[in-house]
Amino acid sequence: MKLDHIELSRLSISPLNMRAKRPPDIANILPSVRARGVIVPLLVRPANDSGDAYEIVAGKRRYLAASAVAEETGESPALPCAIMEAGDDAAALEASLIENFARLAPDEVTQWETFTRLVKEGQAAEDIAATFGITERLVRRILALGNLLPRIRGLYRQEKLDASTVRHLTMATRAQQKDWLALYDSEDGHAPSGQRLKEWLCGGQLIATKTALFDLALYTGPIVSDLFGEDSYFAEPDLFWMLQREAIEARRQAYLEQGWAAAELIEPAYHFHHWEYEKRPKKQGGRVYLTLSTNGEVEVHEGLLPRREAARQDREERSDSTAKADRPELTAALRNYLDLHRHAAVRARLLNHPGLALRLLIAHAITNAGYWTVGVENQASDRSAIAESVETSRAEASFDEKRRAAIAVMDFDPECVSLIGGRRHDPARPLVRPRRRGGACGGSDRDGRDAGGGQRGGRCARHPA
């Protein structure tokens, strides 16, 4: 490639120039060309073997602006040109398109026409993508416009059709395009556009292949691919629904075999409101719900239970737990019997370890434990049989023996009432007695209250000191 200045009269626009068929707007560069002329070289190549004429591959707007200035001034200046080798049409097309991409992106139909020429010259889609620095998918999208009837491309170029409609029409067969044009030309008919056009092409239902639960190899109908989107679609909805429902039923049975209480299918006509359900695991009767949409999509909700049933289940569980609590393993009388015997056994055993008893008392007194109090013993039973059983037990006999010794050491009258009981001491019976009011002596009962009207303090009325 070499640079040279070539007169206007020797230049013409090449048919390979991607803007050769459309008169460009030169208003924005005309003032600059008037003031300084053409600065950026035009891309040209020889138009004949003699080399006295050149065709412009890229730079049509600069050439037309220079021609307009020449008519105004009457002068015909030479323009700077970069001269390509002759005969390489593919290189000329690439150069024209690269320059126009860098300056102003052409419309899709113009890109398609140029890309189609490059394909005819032997260029593959990946080669075109590498040349222009775009993705191969974008190249294939533009080339997909070749599936359109010439009239549809013409309507698109004239901006009578929007981009969305044209891109959806690239998925249509030639017969579908003719039917669509018939609707477009009809006075009474209405040609679908946009998203409605895609549904029209897919038999009235737009069902993406990604929604299928079955193996796509089982589907024998046509599939429509959208080069301008990410999805492909089923062209025979009836066949899809037959296979989809078979797959749904198989999945529903699989959930039942896994131990779920139920697996229900929610048809598209019914709305599934998640807030009407509560989470419940499988072992608590949780169910599986499969919701089916009009577009074929299936959504699975595992471990749910209707709120009413969940509330009833909670009430039943609370009722069972309350019933168990109302039926204790031990009756009140038996519990009282065990508590009194346990108390007598611990008390008798603790008398053999006075040092330990003292340390426990001091420790609890120092730490001010809330469950430790010092007061008159209050272990008694309102049932005479239980009281008799405790009084005649081995633990109570041992405690009674040590208590007698303590009373003797303190020089109390053995015939006096017990400091703990409320009755006069009977030598033939232990001193522990069931709690009751009144008595022959004015001693205090076990909870420290006055028994029989005598004075408080646990002293015998006969021995106030």
Q: How many domains does the chain have?
A: 3
Q: Is residue 321 part of a domain?
A: no
Residue 189 falls inside a structural domain: no
Evaluate whether 141 touches 228 at the Cβ level (below 8 Å). yes
Whether 156 and 7 share a structural domain: yes
Looking at the structure, do residues 159 and 300 belong to the same domain, yes or no?
no
User: pLDDT, tens digit, for every residue of 368-396?
Assistant: 666 666 665 666 787 888 888 888 889 88
For residue 106, the model assigns a pLDDT of 58
Q: Are residues 350 and 385 in the same domain?
A: yes
Do 249 and 282 share a domain, yes or no? yes
Instruction: Read off the pLDDT band of 45 (50, 70, 90).
Output: confident
Same domain, 161 and 286: no
Torsion of CA 365, 366, 372, 378, to 10 degrees: 0
* 8 Å CB contact between 62 and 38: yes
pLDDT tens digits along 294-322: 888 899 999 999 988 989 888 888 877 66
405/270 same-domain check: no
Number of Cβ within 10 Å of residue 442's Cβ equals 19
pLDDT at 372: 62
413 is a domain residue: yes
Q: Which two tokens stand for residue 255?
A: 């959930």
Question: Residue 300 is part of which domain span?
Answer: 244-311
Decide if 182 is inside a domain.
no
Task: Select the more confidently predicted residue: 343 or 230.
Answer: 343
Better-scored residue on pLDDT, 235 or 444: 235
Tell me which residue of 241, 282, 244 sits closest to 263, measured CA to CA. 282
Q: Does 227 map to a domain?
A: no
pLDDT at 213: 92
Non-local CB neighbours of 313 within 8 Å, separated by 6+ positions = 280, 284, 285, 305
Same domain, residue pair 24 and 128: yes
Strand 232-234 versus strand 223-225 pairing type: antiparallel
pTM of the model: 0.39
Q: What is the pLDDT of residues 130-185, one digit of tens each?
A: 766 677 777 887 887 777 888 888 888 888 888 778 887 887 778 778 888 888 88
Side chain identity, residue 303: G
Q: What is the pLDDT of residues 128-137, one digit of tens each?
A: 777 666 777 7
Residue 330 in this model has a pLDDT that exceeds 80: no
Choosing from 118, 143, 171, the residue where a domain stops is: 171
Same domain, 296 and 404: no
Rg of the chain (C-alpha set): 53
Q: Based on the fold, state whether residues 304 and 342 are members of the same structural domain.
A: no
Residue 185 lies in a domain: no
Q: Is residue 180 part of a domain?
A: no
Of all residues in the chain, the percent with pLDDT exceeding 70 is: 75
Domain boundary among 253, 279, 311: 311
